[in-house]
Amino acid sequence: MAEKQTGHIYTVSILTREIKTLLEETFPFIWVTGEISNYSVPSSGHSYFTLKDQQASIQAVIFKNQKLKLRFEPENGIKIYGLARLSIYEPRGTYQLIFEHLEPEGIGSIQIAFEQLKRKLSDKGYFDQKFKKPIPFLSSNICIITSGTGAALRDIIHISKRRFSNINLEVLPVKVQGAGAEQEIIEAIHFANKRQKAQVIILARGGGSIENFSAFNSELVADAVFLSKIPIITGVGHETDFTIADFVADLRAPTPSAAAELAIPDKQILTQRVFELRQRLDKSIFVRISHLNDMIASLTYRIKIPEMIIYSHRFKVEELELRLKNQIKNAIRNHKDKINGLTDMLMHHFYVIFQRNKIKQLELMSKLKALSPLSVLSRGYSITRFAFDKKIITDSIYVKPKDRLEIILSKGRLISTVEKVNG
């Protein structure tokens, strides 16, 4: 029987802990690549998986807080690379990689997230045609959700004035990219639905990269678009750009301008259409009268009875002919009255809408005038900015002696040089 060693004896815990320390000091942070398999997310929210290549595999984990920073959802079969530290899970004595960050190899994380969300929403039925709401033929009120300063809004307003200036446009300005854009878009959609004033919503923004479209590729924005009671037309980016919001929307337009054209009919074409319908109705009435006259003539010609019988019934025939002509005249008069009534009603409707929008325009101009910076300047205030780059100064900490400043007054401008700066 072997004698008991007199040197240092390790317990399992101490040996494991020292091996763990050695590993963590030797491999503090390393980049590792491999394919994900056996991916699982228990109730803790941490993600556990096996990272493997053709010859080997290793256990790995990315904790919940780090996973929330990822722009895609890890899944089996995806090849990734990431920054990790090597450690030992002491209860089992197995070594593992603890990832701080992951990125997919090849295709970008944004594109993977896009395809994953697209597949998820498609499975939920968000893209089904049966859920698409019809776009009204002629809306008196249209809500526009877009940047308040972008080219998209200017294009939509220009097209509206050109095609049907009587239609009222309600603009809900939002951020279309960056922090807070997603929430502002959602709140604007909810606000429009709560008011129930608009008959259609245009959700739009100009062109950009796939990163710029992140708010329109959000699942929460997709939920808001899908649940909207008011039909939504999207016009995001250019013709080749597609977002999740485009797939969920009731109608997708390739550009903001195209969205405006889909929502706003051409007033001139509508007027021409009414005129053509009236012409067709007049023609139809004329053809009907001609046909009846031909029938009378034909019947009169085909009567082959003795002259006395014809003579005895002549007055009856004339009476019937007169009654028929009177009925036809009455029918013509009634149809013309209906046409005139419909025409008057349509023109009155257009006039009411025009007057209402004119009053709203005057109100908005009055409010805009009250909020104008020039109005503030006229009360003795001024605007101070750097003379070289025109950047407005809001705090003296940004100014130093000898800086050249431009002071804008209600009337005129002053150029000055700073001598001293007081905090």
- Domain ranges in the chain? 12-106, 114-263, 267-371, 373-423
CB atoms within 10 A of CB 267: 16
CATH C-level class of 12-106:
mainly beta
Residue type, 333: R
Beta bridge partners of 388: none
d(CA 102, CA 100): 7
CATH C-level class of 114-263:
alpha beta
Domain 12-106 shares a fold with domain 114-263:
no
- Which pLDDT belongs to residue 121? 94
Residue-level pLDDT, tens digit, the chain, 423 residues? 455 555 678 888 888 888 888 887 888 899 999 998 999 999 999 999 999 999 999 999 999 999 888 877 888 888 888 999 998 888 888 889 999 988 888 656 678 888 888 999 999 999 999 999 999 988 999 999 999 998 999 999 999 999 998 999 999 999 999 899 999 999 999 999 999 999 999 999 998 887 788 899 999 999 999 999 999 999 998 888 899 999 999 999 999 999 999 999 988 888 888 888 888 888 889 888 888 888 888 777 766 555 556 666 677 777 888 888 888 888 888 888 888 888 888 888 878 888 888 888 888 877 777 676 767 777 778 889 998 988 988 888 888 999 899 988 888 888 999 888 886
Interacting residues of 19 by C-beta distance below 8 A, sequence separation 6+:
88
Q: What is the DSSP string of 224-265?
A: HHHH-SS-EEEEESSTT---HHHHHSSEEESSHHHHHHHHS-
